[in-house]
């Protein structure tokens, strides 16, 4: 099964994509995680990516598509893939359809996690991520066992550079329009399912599992 998770920043895409990949043994491809890792490199490429991320702007379509293509060619795709943060634009959506077709695969589900702006702001302001392994926490909703320390690797927990209030507002503005276009694209393909983001992480996951189970 191949699926994508759609939603505004901090809707819970990464949190749910990780749980889905563990439960169904799917490969998790997060363009945001790949780009954040690349942005820590001292190379010119790393610095260029960092500029986009810090500004809350999308990297060019060709770059995002290239990253996903490269990853797909490397991974074992037999069990399936959960895409998180990709596609982000109609051009990326078309590219994903084509890349999967070239590999003899198709997208089975597009799960849209619907969140309102107030919830997004609460989630972003409490989010902390591990500087070393990228694991994500929330100070109230999903706290680490030890304050400011990653449960998984012991790394330091920090705020993401694009989680500043002004950048967040910019990301929401930018993504709202593109998200609407992606929703129409997958509605037309009759694979869109909407899940409300309200409730805790496990509650949202239970809703997603119900959808996946009927599509397995
Ligand atoms: P990306 O990393 O994809 O960021 P985003 O879309 O802005 O989404 P987030 O990662 O901020 O949120 P999320 O939905 O994953 O929520 P999370 O699970 O963390 O992309 C970052 C940047 O990279 C982009 O701005 C762009 O510059 C670039 N980029 C990436 N992909 C690109 C592409 N395809 N094309 C071009 N550029 C691209 O949850 C948020 C918080 O809430 C966490 O603290 C979590 O613990 C908590 N939480 C989650 N669910 C719940 C719940 N149900 N209840 C309570 N708390 C919850
Ligand atoms: Mg994410």
pLDDT value for 215: 87
Question: Could you tell me if residue 8 is left (phi over 0), alpha (psi between -120 and 50 degrees) or otherwise beta?
Answer: beta
Domain that holds residue 170: 2-115+164-215
- Is residue 128 included in any domain, yes or no? no
pLDDT of 166 reads 85
Question: Which of 54, 57, 61 has the alpha carbon at shortest distance from 89?
Answer: 61
Q: Give domain status of residue 74, yes or no.
A: yes
pLDDT in tens, the chain (216 residues): 999 999 999 999 999 999 999 999 999 999 999 999 999 999 999 999 999 999 999 999 999 999 999 999 998 888 899 999 999 999 999 999 999 999 999 999 999 999 988 899 889 989 999 999 999 999 999 999 999 999 999 999 999 989 988 888 888 988 999 999 999 999 999 999 999 999 999 999 999 999 999 988
Of the listed 19, 36, 127, 207, which one is catalytic? 127
Asked if residue 39 belongs to a domain, the reply is yes
Do the domain assignments include residue 127?
A: no
94: in domain: yes
∠ Cα 167 172 173 (to 5°): 100
Count of domains forming the chain: 1
> Would you call 171 a catalytic residue per the annotation?
yes
Q: What is the pLDDT of residue 161?
A: 87
**pLDDT on residue 171:** 87
Q: How far is CA 9 from CA 98, 163, 172, in A?
A: 26, 10, 7
Is residue 194 included in any domain, yes or no? yes
Q: How far is CA 4 from the centre of its chain?
A: 9
71 lines ligand 1 (CB under 6 A): no
pLDDT of residue 209: 98
Q: How many residues does the chain have?
A: 216
Rounded to the nearest angstrom, the distance between the alpha carbon of 104 and the centre of ligand 1 is 29
Strand 157-158 and strand 127-130: the pairing is: antiparallel
Is 148 noted as a catalytic residue in this protein? no
β-bridge mates for residue 63, sequence order: none
Return the ligand number nearest the Cα of 123.
Answer: 1
Classify residue 150: in a domain, yes or no. Answer: no
Segment (H or E) for 10:
none
Q: What pLDDT shows up at residue 48?
A: 95
- CATH number of the domain bearing residue 182: 3.40.50.300
Residue 198, in any domain of the structure: yes
Identify the pLDDT of residue 201. Answer: 95
Q: What is the pLDDT of residue 15?
A: 96
Q: What is the DSSP string of 57-83?
A: -PPPHHHHHHHHHHHHHHS--SS-EEE
pLDDT of residue 164: 86
Q: Of all protein residues, whose CA lies closest to atom 42 belonging to ligand 1? A: 123
Of 123, 136, 130, nearest in space to 172 by CA? 123
Measured distance CA(114)–CA(58) in Å, rounded = 21
The answer to whether 113 touches 20, Cβ cutoff 8 Å, is no
């Amino acid at each position: 099964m191949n699926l994508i998770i759609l939603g505004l920043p901090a809707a819970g895409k990464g949190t749910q994509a990780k749980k889905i990949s563990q439960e169904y043994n799917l490969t998790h491809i997060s363009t945001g995680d790949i780009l954040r890792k690349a942005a820590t490199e001292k190379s010119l490429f790393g610095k260029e990516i960092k500029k986009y991320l810090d500004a809350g702007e999308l990297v060019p379509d060709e770059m995002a598509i290239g990253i996903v293509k490269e990853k797909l060619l490397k991974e074992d795709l037999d069990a399936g893939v959960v895409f998180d943060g990709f596609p982000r634009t109609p051009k990326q959506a078309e590219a994903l359809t084509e890349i999967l077709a070239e590999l003899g695969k198709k997208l089975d589900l597009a799960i849209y996690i619907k969140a309102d702006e107030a919830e997004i702001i609460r989630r972003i302001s409490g989010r902390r991520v591990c500087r070393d392994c990228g694991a994500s926490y929330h100070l109230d909703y999903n706290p680490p066992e030890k304050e400011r320390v990653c449960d998984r690797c012991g790394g330091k927990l920090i705020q993401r550079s694009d989680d500043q209030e002004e950048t967040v507002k910019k990301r929401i503005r930018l993504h709202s329009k593109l998200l609407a276009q992606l929703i129409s694209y997958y509605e037309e393909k009759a694979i869109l399912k909407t899940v409300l983001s309200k409730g805790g992480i496990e509650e949202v996951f239970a809703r997603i599992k119900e959808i996946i189970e009927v599509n397995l």
